[in-house]
Amino acid sequence: MTKQNSTSIVKNSSQEVAADIIRNKPEYVKNSTFDIFSYVKSLSDVELKIEPLCDDISGYIEKVGDKFVIVVNSLQSPLRQRFTLAHEFGHYSLHKADLEGKHQDTVLFRDANEDSLGIEYAANDFAAELLIPKESFEDAIKSGKNTPKQLSNLFQVTEKAILYRAYKLGIIKSFPN
């Protein structure tokens, strides 16, 4: 029997949480995209705000009383906003018991080439599975949609998010930081 290392356990569990959400909420899946904005708006303990933030901030999640406020930078592209929201929602889904005060995110794919157990990697892996599910992604590539541009259009995420996903799934060997 081979021993699974702890890194892959954390990575798998964050992706499994995301996969469960898609399985349980098929009404939010349209074509190949998960409507993350509508889904998060439907949650009673999360308040979603889309508003202008500083250039270098993608978004943040803040615990206010018993609720969580997620803010996404409206000045960034709609495709980036989707991943930012999925990432912040990942912090809610994976780490809400540990969240205190405000957790702010700048560059989401920083140090993507480093292996880490950190919550940022878990939130990114969660977001990647939610918006670019492994099976759909591999099916799309098999069907001939294999350029970052085509896959970005299909999954409604940035080309950088597509490259991150391809890197994390071992389809490409390095991630261009």
Closest distance of CB 91 from Zn ion, Å? 6
Nearer to Zn ion, 70 or 154 (CB): 70
Query: Considering only 6-14, 117-125, 148-156, 161-169, which stretch makes contact with Zn ion by CB under 5 A?
Result: 117-125
Secondary structure (3-state) at 73: strand
| Total of residues contacting Zn ion (CB under 5 A) | 3
Under rule CB under 5 A, residue 125 binds Zn ion: no
Q: Binding string, 16-55, against Zn ion, x = CB under 5 A?
A: ----------------------------------------
Kindly tell me which residue out of 11, 70, 105, 151 binds Zn ion, with binding defined by CB under 5 A. 105
What's the rounded Cα separation, in Å, for the pair 73 and 56? 9
Query: Considering only 4-12, 48-56, 70-78, 114-122, which stretch makes contact with Zn ion by CB under 5 A?
Result: 114-122
Q: Which residue(s) pair with 51 in the sheet?
A: 73
What's the rounded Cα separation, in Å, for the pair 171 and 164? 10
- The pairs formed by 18-21 with CB atoms below 8 angstroms and a separation of 24 or more are 18/90, 18/93, 18/125, 18/126, 18/127, 18/129, 18/130, 18/133, 19/129, 19/133, 21/93, 21/130
Residues forming the site for Zn ion (CB under 5 A): 105, 120, 123
